Structure 1
Amino acid sequence: MLKNVTRGTVVATRVRVADTFWRRLKGLLGTTALPIDAALILRPCNSVHTIGMRYAIDVLFLDKTYRVVKIVGRLGPNRLAAAAGAVMAVELPAGTAAKTNTAVGDYLELY
């Protein structure tokens, strides 16, 4: 589970962590959709791409303390996004950041 401890909201209940080269390389490629309650955490990671994907995602870039340093909402297919100072990225269904009121500066916690 991934919680926004600043806002007291649940960001995702089903979380996968991609912390090896091969898991990060695969990411969400080959998937048709990201379930509404799911998240993929890529670490280490300070940039993502949606090349080859068919749907938009939200991306939260986090620093080493799990503080949100950048939010990219509704990143469409075949796009790139990066954040200076980020050490991990959280890929979420499009609209999740707004729905959970997640903002830059918020702290997240992985359970």
Structure 2
Amino acid sequence: MRVIHRSGAIDAEDESPSAPREHVLATDVDVADSFWSQARGLMFRRSVPDEYALVFRFDEPDSRSLHMAFVPFPIDAVWLVDGEVSTVKRLRPWVGLGWGTADTIVELPAGAADGVESGDTVEVVE
């Protein structure tokens, strides 16, 4: 499983959209697919590998929050609605909070979502 980011780049010379750029954000992907795995998230882990992602899928878009209680390292969080990025935020260890509208949330190591912006697409590929 992989997490792929696609952005519509802007050509600096004529300011027109160019072909989308594709970048692999993660190749080691876990899916939090139960109530307990979603509740636990990344809590109690000491770290995550550079190519890691934890994906939370929900039935429909809604306001979703994340907390960093018992997570001792920073992460990047990406909120998605139908694959389109609605919010991106770096969350601080232990005290970070974030929220956005999403039907999918992707948690990544800090720095992995650099360059991901609202309106881009992120896809989890089997």
TM-score by length of 1: 0.88
Give the root-mean-square deviation of aligned CA atoms.
Answer: 1.5
Matching of residue 96 in structure 1 with residue 112 in structure 2: yes
Aligned length: 107
Ranked by relative contact order (alpha carbons within 8 Å, sequence separation 6 or more), the top structure is 1
Q: How far did 1:48 drift?
A: 0.8
Which runs of 5 or more structure 1 residues have no equivalent in the other structure? Answer: none
Query: 2:122 pairs with 90, 108, 111, which one?
Result: 108
Cα deviation, 1:19-61, whole Å, max 9, x if unaligned, reads 2101101111111111100000112282111101111100001
Highest Rg: 1 or 2? 2
Which whole-Å CA distance do the structure 1 matches of 2:123 and 2:103 have between them?
15
Higher strand share: 2
Determine if contact 1:59/1:75 at 8 Å carries over to the other structure.
no
Q: How far did 1:74 drift?
A: 4.3
Identity of aligned residues (%): 32
Cα deviation, 1:63-91, whole Å, max 9, x if unaligned, reads 1x1111000024332221100x3122111
3-state SS, counterpart of residue 8 of structure 1:
strand
> CA 1:37–1:68 in structure 2 vs 1: closer, same or farther (change >3 Å)?
same
Which runs of 5 or more structure 2 residues have no equivalent in the other structure? Answer: 8-20
Matching of residue 86 in structure 1 with residue 102 in structure 2: yes
Which whole-Å CA distance do the structure 2 matches of 1:74 and 1:26 have between them?
16
Query: 1:73 pairs with 69, 83, 90, which one?
Result: 90
Counterpart amino acid of residue 70 in structure 1: T
Counterpart amino acid of residue 70 in structure 2: G
- Dislocated runs of 4+, deviation >3 Å: none
TM-score by length of 2: 0.78
